[in-house]
A = this chain, B = another copy of it.
């Protein structure tokens, strides 16, 4: 057993990486097992290592406590076995709050206790075209947006001809599902780090049903699925901004049953040392809300819903006491498909409907006749009218109590979204022991207008009788 000292200083929730040389013959992806135990005081975590090509093996680790961590490897290959060392974990730098966790049943926070509210968007294949300029555009667009989560796929669709994919090979004829493509992952990892720098969570979609016999990735053997998941987790779990979305529109995949998905999600739960957020996203015709995955299952951390009707958020909160993230609520745009052509106003309206009921809604854009292709597919530029209004909503929500629904029930804060309705007044039940100022919020014109007088207890608040307004009441 060789002992080495690593002098690296790694920040809390940063990434320690150990690179080792080992055999390159045979199929190291399949033949070599490598795992390490990392220990700080009584805390032990055991991430798997992975083969990174060219005789290089790596183990990545995300320490979650400051202090000296010790590690030691175990491997089926003697060259890689028993490598030990230590490193110093230091305080996180500014902007590093750790991974996102569920808080108080319906909400989220970073591991350092900083509040996190997902304002998501979707760019399924933004890293897959091999177009660096477009990817830079995507990152610049995100940097100028209110979005702090991106849904993105690891696997290509039937229609794509990507220069590289997760597995060895580039076309269906030469795919080798027993080997991976480290270059694909290195590129993906760079982009995940770019997102991390922007404060954006990468909601990684591990499977999707848009393959239909082309690549065959939607219909692999159970061992192949797990082989793929283990490699992905070994490489990516140490990135603190990763979430696991087992599948997009899982119910459109005819080769897998709900029991299969249960097994695969549990497998991810078992492999991931850090317990990143885990969910699965439905696709069934959006009316049939009864076909949503049973989100009460213990291995699911949050409800990743597709539905057009954010008003159902109230029902979903009752159905499962987990955060509600409506990851697809239709996209702003002019696609010919019903899911991809709502107006900016309708998108903003749905955001307010969901947030005001205690859920989180995600954005997407699908304009089909502009300079860059649809944002939801390949990123690039955004053309819609909703994003800046979602930024406005985000500011409003950041000023809200952490549990704004409970505060609303307690009468200590109210955010009442009126939607298509235009009442001339509204009765609100406010706490008796405090004075409240009321503001009228125009969700489209982004104005906040104070209303007179100060309110207390049960109050009648006069309203302008216009649609798309919200009413906010906060303690003076």
CB-CB nearest in chain B for A465: B334
Report if A342-B424 is in contact (Cβ < 8 Å); known contacts: A334-B465, A465-B334: no
> Does A163 sit at the interface, judged by CB under 8 A?
no
Q: Are B467 and A424 in contact (CB under 8 A)?
A: no
> Does A343 sit at the interface, judged by CB under 8 A?
yes
Report if A368-B336 is in contact (Cβ < 8 Å); known contacts: A343-B467, A467-B345: no
A346 to B338 CA separation, bound complex (whole angstroms): 19
> Does A450 sit at the interface, judged by CB under 8 A?
no
Q: Are B467 and A421 in contact (CB under 8 A)?
A: no
> Does A369 sit at the interface, judged by CB under 8 A?
yes
Q: Are B422 and A341 in contact (CB under 8 A)?
A: yes
- Contact among B342, B421, B426, B427 for A421, CB-based, below 8 A: B342
What chain B residues lie within 8 Å of A343 (beta carbons)? 420-422, 466-467
> Does A6 sit at the interface, judged by CB under 8 A?
no
> Does A255 sit at the interface, judged by CB under 8 A?
no
What chain B residues lie within 8 Å of A463 (beta carbons)? 334
Q: Are A423 and B346 in contact (CB under 8 A)?
A: no
> Does A335 sit at the interface, judged by CB under 8 A?
yes
Report if A369-B336 is in contact (Cβ < 8 Å); known contacts: A345-B467, A346-B467, A467-B346: no
CB-CB nearest in chain B for A468: B343
User: A416-430, CB under 8 A of B: which get 1 and which 0?
Assistant: 000011111111000
Q: Are B426 and A336 in contact (CB under 8 A)?
A: yes
- Contact among B335, B422, B425 for A342, CB-based, below 8 A: B422
User: A311-353, CB under 8 A of B: which get 1 and which 0?
Assistant: 0000000000000000000000111111001110110000000
CB distance from A138 to the nearest CB of B (A): 22
Q: Are A423 and B334 in contact (CB under 8 A)?
A: yes
A331 to B341 CA separation, bound complex (whole angstroms): 27
Q: Are A335 and B420 in contact (CB under 8 A)?
A: no
A390 to B367 CA separation, bound complex (whole angstroms): 31
Interface contacts beyond A336-B425, A342-B422, A342-B467: sample of 6 additional A-B pairs, CB < 8 Å, sorted by A: A333-B422, A334-B465, A337-B423, A341-B424, A341-B465, A346-B420
Interface residues of A (CB under 8 A from B): 333-338, 341-343, 345-346, 367-369, 420-427, 463, 465-467
